[in-house]
Amino acid sequence: MKRILKLVAVVAVAGLVAAACGGGNKSTNTGSPSASTGALQSGGVLKLAIEADVDHAFDPAKEYSTLSFEPFRCCLLRTLVSTNGQDASHDGDILQPDLAALPQISADGLTYTFTIQSGIHYAPPFDNVEVTAGDFARAIARESDSQASANGYSFYYSPSGGTGGGIVGFDEAKGTVPSGVKVVDDHTLAITLTAPLGDFPWRMSMAAMAPIPPVGNSVLGWATGHTKDYGRYLVGTGPYMFKGTDALDPSGPPSQAAISGYVPGRSWTLVRNPSWDASTDPNRPAYVDEIDVAIGGTAQVLANEVDNGTIDMEFGGVPPAQQLAAYQADPTKATQVHATPSDGVRYLAMNIALPPFDDIHVRKAMNYVIDKDALRRTRGGPLFGDIAGHFIVNSLTGDINANYDPYASPNGQGDVTKAKAEMALSKYDTNGDGICDAPECNGVLTITDSADPYPAQNAILVASAKKIGISLDVRAGDRYTFMYDKCLDPTSHAAFCPSVGWFKDYPDALTFGPPTLGSAAIGPGGCCNYSLVGASNDLLKADGYTTTDVASLDAVFNKCTVMPIGQERLQCWADADKAIMEQAVPVIPWLFDKDVDLTGSRILNYTYDQSAGMMSLDHVALVGGGA
């Protein structure tokens, strides 16, 4: 979810962009660089720039942002299982073997056994050390240390993390190997869970689970003494490593000089890892020899640098609207603009425990009446996303619901007739004219972000809701100290939270439904069930609500959570999506976000990494091999 930060940062992109894009998950450039069919040449230095650094200096147990996910996946850290680094239309959302084969699952769904490849070695200075099962156990042990994983995502491994279950003994391990993790032999790792979790292999694909080299008999091996700064001493097995990794001294103290190729806040320099063997890694073509990333500068400055060839791309940013318009208008450059569904949804959250949204007909009427197209224009138009007709993004349900939109309206501009018909069924429309006439519809407390483009969006929402007699009392403030505080706190009685969105962590709908609409995600300690779906009677009473019974989706989610990865699981989540939209109706999804990248003229084979949600650095090649 932290990835929303990236999107929040780009919202100011104004609507100069007009190229319409189709649905599905394909990148929507029109050809050449990314569609290059000639043989791609290896070599060269890929020059990128980013506006700000990663959050936690590349510590895999702490980093929880898209900006770090891609360099981890593509380049620095191989994990037991992974993806091919491509978009959903090229199976980028399908789990692939990596350091291990896909796991064997016990009949009860509780034990996952991974068989690890032989002959994989770490980057220097651990190039003589072969990756073994114990190295993964070490990573799990580190993840169980709340200090090492603070700010990270240990909840995916903790039985008490609110994600349906976790590794046996994880909560008690506190920096040691949990009892549920068994090193059967050097190449076999068995992990036992407290409850069946169909998506568990995905959880093992995350960077925090990358192997940690052993050092002596210490439990945490090479990570010992680096609770806060392991990222600056990172040694992995990917095709690249930070420049200067080989200068680390395995027998030296934790206070030794950090890797020179990563200067926090200034630069990343990734060079080839001499230990990496392409024949063991079909997921990563790794064309370029070096990846240089400069940190700093505004979007406009970086856009100029792309234009004049100083850099090849702003990585993870959004090109300025003027630059996008100029490239799209130029047939020779239009192919350098790429837009790909990023597996994120923007939605409006209604508090189903508060009038007038405690009436499902009002919620359905709101779904009909909102002008989603106008909202989308505030974000840059169709290039930046498709109008959403349902909640869970299509790639996470295998496109089963791609054409599903129970509240469709012409061009997504709202259907007042249907909205009024729905409102007429509500108890808040006493005369049945489709206009809410109850006092509960006046001054509906709306908590929103004050930054652009939300003021423009608020105006659209106020105008849309007014058509069915709902007047919004809009209170805007800082996103983190006001908006989230109020929307996450049930006692604040916020009725409408329209500035929210959600992005997957990995390609499974478990990272979409339960965190946003599960009962465990209610309240400041939970995050981010703003709608109070599934709130208990006790919670509602304690927080001052008169409503005592609200819809719950927990049973629907629980059913899907335990299913193993496969078509049945996809269908289950697709059905859950329908339950969200028709039975509970706590949200008004309005945009399936797209990532928009603009690449320089040297870049060939642009590929979008669906799992990480960014351009795939290992699939990019340079014209003439960068010569």
Partner 1 sequence: MGRYLIRRTLFMVLVLFIVSLFTFIIFMKLPAGDPARRLAGSRATTPQELQAIRHSIGLDEPLLVQYGRFAKGLIPWPGFFLNKQVYFSWANNVPVSEEIYSRLPYTITLSLGAAAVFLVVGIPIGIISAIKRRSFVDRAGMVFALIGVSAPVFWLAYLMLYFFWFKLGWLPGIGVPAGEPILKSIALGRFILPWFALAFTFAAFYTRMIRGNLIETMSEDYIRTARAKGLSERRVIFKHGLRAALTPVVTMFGLDLATLLGGAVITETVFNIPGIGQYTLQAIFGGNFPGVMGVTVLAAFFIVIANLVVDVLYAFLDPRVRYT
Binding site for partner 1 (CB under 8 A): 1-2, 4-5, 52-57, 59, 62, 64, 146-147, 149-151, 153-155, 158, 160-162, 228-229, 231-232, 263-267, 269, 294-297, 301, 304-305, 310, 479-482, 484-485, 515, 521, 524-528
At how many degrees (to 10) do helices 299-307 and 321-329 cross?
Answer: 30
Distance CA 288, CA 75 (A): 11
Is 102 or 295 the residue whose CB approaches partner 1 more closely?
295
Is 149 or 401 the residue whose CB approaches partner 1 more closely?
149
Distance CA 572, CA 124 (A): 45
| Distance in Å, CB of 516 to partner 1, minimum | 9
| Distance in Å, CB of 466 to partner 1, minimum | 29
| Distance in Å, CB of 56 to partner 1, minimum | 5
Distance CA 463, CA 466 (A): 5
Is 232 or 376 the residue whose CB approaches partner 1 more closely?
232
556: left (phi over 0), alpha (psi -120 to 50) or beta: alpha
DSSP 8-class letter at 7: H
Cα dist. 106→113, 137, 210 in Å?
8, 19, 23
| Distance in Å, CB of 574 to partner 1, minimum | 23
| Distance in Å, CB of 512 to partner 1, minimum | 11
Is 103 or 319 the residue whose CB approaches partner 1 more closely?
319
Is 55 or 289 the residue whose CB approaches partner 1 more closely?
55
Q: Tell how far CA 35 is from the center of its chain.
A: 26
| Distance in Å, CB of 149 to partner 1, minimum | 8
| Distance in Å, CB of 424 to partner 1, minimum | 37
Distance CA 480, CA 495 (A): 18
| Distance in Å, CB of 525 to partner 1, minimum | 4
DSSP letters along 602-613, please? TEES--EETTTT
215: left (phi over 0), alpha (psi -120 to 50) or beta: beta
> 544 burial class (0-12, 13-18, 19+ CB within 10 angstroms)?
exposed
Exposure string (b/e) for 223-250, b if CB count within 10 Å is 16 or more? bbbbbebbbbbbbbbbbbbbbebbebeb
Is 373 or 449 the residue whose CB approaches partner 1 more closely?
449
Contact between 81 and 98 under an 8 Å Cβ cutoff? The reply is yes
| Distance in Å, CB of 2 to partner 1, minimum | 4
Is 176 or 267 the residue whose CB approaches partner 1 more closely?
267
Structure tokens, 448: 């929103």
Q: List Cβ<8 Å contacts ≥24 apart for 427-436.
A: 427/359, 428/355, 428/356, 428/359, 428/362, 429/469, 434/468, 435/468, 435/469, 436/356, 436/362, 436/468, 436/469, 436/470
| Distance in Å, CB of 472 to partner 1, minimum | 22
Structure tokens, 215: 């050092």
DSSP letters along 43-80, please? --EEEEEESS--SSTT-TTT--SHHHHHHIIIII---S
**Torsion angle of the four alpha carbons 101, 102, 106, 111, in this order, in degrees rounded to the nearest 10:** 90
> Which pairing describes strands 240-242 and 188-192: parallel, antiparallel, or unpaired?
unpaired
Distance CA 135, CA 131 (A): 7
Please state whether the peptide bond connecting residue 356 to the residue before it is cis, i.e. omega within 30 degrees of 0: yes
Measured at the CA of 337, the angle between CA 335 and CA 339, to 5 degrees, comes to 120
Beta strands in 370-429 (DSSP E): 385-387
Is 338 or 504 the residue whose CB approaches partner 1 more closely?
504
| Distance in Å, CB of 259 to partner 1, minimum | 13
Is 67 or 339 the residue whose CB approaches partner 1 more closely?
67
| Distance in Å, CB of 142 to partner 1, minimum | 13
| Distance in Å, CB of 322 to partner 1, minimum | 13
Maximum C-alpha span of the chain: 81
Contact between 407 and 423 under an 8 Å Cβ cutoff? The reply is no
Is 307 or 405 the residue whose CB approaches partner 1 more closely?
307
Is 173 or 365 the residue whose CB approaches partner 1 more closely?
173
Is 232 or 619 the residue whose CB approaches partner 1 more closely?
232
Is 70 or 415 the residue whose CB approaches partner 1 more closely?
70
What strands, in cross-sheet order, belong to the sheet with 181-185?
Answer: 104-105, 111-115, 188-192, 181-185
Is 292 or 618 the residue whose CB approaches partner 1 more closely?
292
| Distance in Å, CB of 228 to partner 1, minimum | 5
Is 470 or 522 the residue whose CB approaches partner 1 more closely?
522
User: How many C-alpha atoms does 581 have within 13 Å on its Cβ side?
Assistant: 24
Distance CA 221, CA 575 (A): 45
**Residue 559 is inside which H or E element, if any?**
helix 554-561
| Distance in Å, CB of 517 to partner 1, minimum | 12
